[in-house]
């Protein structure tokens, strides 16, 4: 039995986490949940965005499933997601994007796994405001150690999952210093995994190629900001943010979460689509070594997605969040 920290989150978070819990219970997945909240809800109750009890639970269980969190707008509030990633060195942001039958998209045959460096680059928090001269700087910090870790993770994943190719996306022609660090780190990882092909592409060309011929890409590795943008682009290739999963992984902790936010416009109405969070939960099962349970639920999810009428409104159906979950449960073999 695995104990998982469950962060229901804000907005639609509690509705979609409940759906995942129901599906896991019906499939008799060997996990038990330890619920600890964070975000707007806990802030309203206790004045804390990230309570100590959550840190304790994460440090004990080392694996979490997280609903979306609303970061209160205003001075002094750092993004909770960025805070957690940096505090626990969750340096890999894993974002798979795969064409699924039943989910409409302009493309077919897309099957990309993106590795975004998750703690450095332009998100390192090195921001300077020189009021006297009216100049603002954001420093893109890339460390050799960080570049090696993310590149190696991408190649190790490719080798483990029988993937053919890793593409490094960069801008080394202009951003020469961080670019060279990434190129060197990727070349080093490529030597360690000779069974995986390696190529590098400049980020602007990469964007063009992704929207014209996405099926040529397999595993992509890149720095934080490029990864943030490319991963949303890749989500757009396969049906949008409502259906893609995500994971923040470090050497000794992993937090799995959907890519979308707390959707305040539809919160509390029971109509949110739990697919993205469910898929993130399936990544979590694989991470835990529960591959069989993950495949069984994935098959049931895919069967549900093939029938529009079994899906939620954003996918063209009329099912509520709970009905959708029930349909997945009914489709379990
Ligand atoms: P959002 O992703 O919450 O919503 C964008 C649009 O997509 C809305 O129309 C929403 O109704 C729809 N949508 C999102 N998820 C859906 C689902 N599962 N089913 C059906 N429709 C869905 O993005 P927005 O509005 O920019 O952000 C809202 C809040 O979420 C903000 O406070 C933001 O900071 C937070 N956020 C949190 C994230 C996280 O915790 N990982 C990630 C992104 C945003
Ligand atoms: Mg983003």
Ligand 1 pocket test target in 49, 235, 261, 272 with most atoms within 8 Å of CB: 261
- For residue 137, indicate whether it is catalytic: no
Q: Which residues contact 107 (CB under 8 A, 6 or more apart)?
A: 99, 214, 215, 237, 238
The pLDDT of residue 330 is 98
Active-site residue flag, 56: no
Rounded Cα distance, 192 and 186, in Å: 10
Ligand 1 centroid to residue 19 C-alpha, Å: 17
Q: What is the pLDDT of residue 49?
A: 86
Ligand 2 center from residue 93 Cα (angstroms) = 11
Residue having the nearest C-alpha atom to atom 39 of ligand 1: 68
Contacts of 56 (CB under 8 A, 6+ apart): none
CA distance 118 to 224: 6
Instruction: Give the separation between CA 216 and CA 164, rounded to whole angstroms.
Output: 11
Q: Is the pLDDT of residue 21 over 90?
A: yes
| Catalytic-residue membership of 228 | yes
- pLDDT tens digits for range 88-119: 999 999 999 999 999 999 999 999 999 999 99
Per-residue buried b or exposed e for 215-249, using 16+ beta carbons within 10 Å of the residue's own CB: eebbbbbbbbbbbbebbebbbbbbbbebbbbbbbb
Find, among 220, 252, 184, the residue nearest to 111 by Cα: 220
For residue 74, the model assigns a pLDDT of 65
Give the pLDDT band of residue 36 (cuts 50, 70, 90): very high
Q: Which atom of ligand 1 is nearest to the CA of 258?
A: 41
pLDDT of residue 14 exceeding 70: yes
Q: Is the CB of 81 under 6 A from ligand 1?
A: yes
172 Cα: distance to centroid of ligand 1 (angstroms): 33
Which domains occur in the chain, in start order? Answer: 1-91+242-333 (3.40.718.10), 106-237 (3.40.718.10)
- The crossing angle, in degrees rounded to 10, of helices 275-287 and 291-305 is 160
Pair of tokens at residue 83: 């805070």
pLDDT tens for each residue of 240-270: 988 999 999 999 999 999 989 999 999 999 9
Q: Tell me how far apart the alpha carbons of residues 246 and 96 are, in angstroms, rounded to a whole number.
A: 7
pLDDT, tens only, 184-226: 999 999 999 999 999 999 999 999 999 999 999 999 999 999 9
- Which is catalytic among the residues 88, 198, 201, 228? 228
Over residues 287-305, the mean pLDDT reads: 97
* pLDDT at residue 76 greater than cutoff 80: no
The reply to whether 171 belongs to the active site is yes
Structure tokens at 67: 């609903």
Which ligand 1 atom sits nearest the alpha carbon of residue 70? 32
At 133 the pLDDT is 97
Catalytic residue of the set 98, 149, 171, 201: 171
Instruction: Using most ligand atoms within 8 A of CB, pick from 64, 68, 276 the residue to mutate for ligand 1.
Output: 68
Residue 123 predicted with pLDDT over 80: yes
The whole-chain average pLDDT of the chain stands at: 95
pLDDT tens, residue by residue, 133-152 = 999 999 999 999 999 999 99
Ligand 1 atom nearest 9 alpha carbon = 40
What is the distance between the alpha carbons of residues 115 and 93, in angstroms, rounded to a whole number? 6
Confidence at residue 77, expressed as pLDDT on a 0 to 100 scale: 67
Indicate the pLDDT class of residue 48, thresholds 50, 70 and 90.
confident
**What's the pLDDT at 238?**
97
Distance CA 91, CA 84 (A): 11
| The predicted structure's pLDDT at residue 215 | 97
Q: How many CA atoms, within 13 angstroms, populate the side-chain half-sphere of residue 39? A: 21
Range in 80-84, 178-182, 303-307 the model is least confident about: 80-84
Is a pLDDT exceeding 90 seen at residue 46? no
CB distance 260 to ligand 1 below 6 Å = yes
- pLDDT tops 90 at residue 56: yes
Determine which one of 10, 91, 98, 123 is catalytic: 123
Q: What pLDDT does residue 11 have?
A: 95
Burial of 265 (0-12, 13-18, 19+ CB in 10 A): exposed
> Which pLDDT value is given to residue 130?
96
Atom of ligand 1 nearest to the CA of 69: 40
| Pocket residue to mutate for ligand 1, from 14, 262, 321, most atoms within 8 A of Cβ | 262
């Amino acid at each position: 039995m695995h104990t998982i920290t469950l962060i229901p989150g804000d907005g639609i978070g509690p509705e979609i986490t409940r759906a995942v819990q129901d599906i896991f219970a019906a499939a008799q997945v060997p996990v038990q949940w330890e619920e600890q909240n964070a975000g707007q809800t806990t802030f309203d109750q206790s004045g804390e965005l990230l309570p100590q009890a959550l840190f304790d639970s994460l440090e004990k269980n080392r694996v979490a499933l997280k609903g979306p969190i609303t970061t209160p707008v205003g001075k002094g509030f750092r993004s909770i997601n960025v805070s957690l990633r940096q505090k626990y060195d969750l340096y890999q942001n894993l974002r798979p994007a795969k064409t699924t039958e039943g989910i409409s998209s302009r493309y077919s045959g897309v099957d990309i796994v993106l590795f975004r460096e998750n703690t450095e680059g332009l998100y390192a928090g090195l921001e300077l405001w020189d009021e006297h001269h009216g100049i603002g700087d954001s420093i893109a910090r890339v460390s050799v150690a960080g570049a090696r870790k993310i590149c190696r993770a991408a190649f190790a994943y490719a080798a483990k999952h029988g993937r053919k190719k890793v593409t490094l996306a960069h801008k080394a022609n202009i951003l020469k210093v961080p670019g060279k660090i990434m190129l060197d780190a990727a070349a080093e990882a490529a030597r360690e995994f000779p069974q995986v092909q390696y190529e590098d592409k400049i980020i602007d060309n990469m964007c063009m190629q992704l929207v014209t011929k996405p099926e040529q890409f397999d595993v992509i590795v890149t720095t934080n900001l490029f990864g943030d943008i490319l991963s949303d682009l890749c989500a757009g290739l396969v049906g949008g943010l409502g259906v893609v999963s995500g994971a923040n992984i470090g050497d000794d902790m992993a937090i799995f979460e959907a890519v979308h936010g707390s959707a305040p416009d539809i919160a509390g109405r029971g109509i949110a689509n739990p697919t993205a969070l469910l898929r993130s939960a399936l990544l979590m099962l694989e991470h835990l070594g529960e591959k069989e349970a993950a495949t069984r639920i994935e098959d049931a999810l895919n069967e549900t997605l093939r029938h529009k009428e079994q899906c939620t409104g954003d996918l063209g159906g009329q099912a509520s969040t709970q009905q959708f979950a029930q349909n997945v449960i009914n489709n379990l073999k």
